[in-house]
Amino acid sequence: MAARKKKAKSVRPRFTNSREFEALSDEEKDRIVSSYDRKVPLSETRPLTASERAEFEQFRRKAGRPRIGQGAKVVAVTLEKGFLERVDAYARKHEMKRAELITKGLRIVMGENRPA
């Protein structure tokens, strides 16, 4: 029977919150951060366990933009290039996203008075 490899003990400390990390000296923080800045050899990896895979899939499903209302749908709309440049400039000037500006405009045209 082949001898089992001992799992290498991590030299990276575990933190339960960000305050514990922030309490370290700048040198200690730099040492810890630099330990993550390396190419990980394949020999140090392993497949996810069933529970880890389930946890990852649950996270992956929740990742991304938060759902608002019934969610969002991407719609391709053709606009003249010069007009689109003016739309984008207006949105930037008013600190809005393009989609937010278009949504507000459509609500006005449709007579909906609720905020976006």
Would the pLDDT of 5 be above 60?
Answer: no
Distance between CA atoms of residues 39 and 37, nearest Å: 7
Band of pLDDT at residue 69, cut at 50, 70 and 90: confident
Task: Count the alpha carbons within 13 Å of 62 in the hemisphere toward its beta carbon.
Answer: 6
Tokens 């200690």 belong to residue: 28
Would the pLDDT of 44 be above 60?
Answer: yes
Q: Are 116 and 106 in contact (CB under 8 A)?
A: no
- Give residue 68's identity as a one-letter amino acid code: I
Would the pLDDT of 30 be above 70?
Answer: yes
Tokens 């339960």 belong to residue: 16
Strand locations in the chain (E)? none
3-state DSSP assignment of residue 54: helix
Question: How far is CA 64 from its chain centroid?
Answer: 6
pLDDT at 3: 55
pLDDT at 67: 74
Distance between CA atoms of residues 96 and 90, nearest Å: 8
Q: What is the mean pLDDT of the chain?
A: 86
pLDDT at 79: 96
Outline where 4-80 has alpha helix (H).
Answer: 18-22, 26-36, 50-62
